[in-house]
Amino acid sequence: MTFDDFGPLLGRAQAHAMRFIDALPERFVGARAGRDDMLSAFDGALPARGEPADAVIDRLALHAPRGT
């Protein structure tokens, strides 16, 4: 990865963050998933080689809001 790769990744993370913030007025207050549910969402064997950074960002954005 080079420094040039960070711009698109940060933009992707920002887009996820903005969708989260935009949904706050209609969003349920509290966790929708417990500890075990969250652990299972992120559970699994670590790959022998790293995953693409954009896939990691997308997975966090998909599952993390259930635990907040």
For the chain, the domains span 3-67
What's the rounded mean pLDDT across residues 35-54?
85
Q: Are 31 and 66 in contact (CB under 8 A)?
A: yes
25 pLDDT exceeds 90? yes
- Whose tokens are 């969003």? That residue is 27
- pTM for the complete prediction? 0.75
Whether the per-residue pLDDT at 64 is higher than 80: the answer is yes
Kindly tell me the sign of the dihedral angle through the C-alpha atoms of 11, 59, 34, 39: negative
Instruction: Say what the pLDDT of residue 41 is.
Output: 83
pLDDT(53) > 80: yes
- Residue corresponding to tokens 């549910």: 37
Read off the pLDDT of each residue in 8-24 and give the average, rounded to a whole number.
95
Is 52:7 a contact under the CB 8 Å cutoff? no
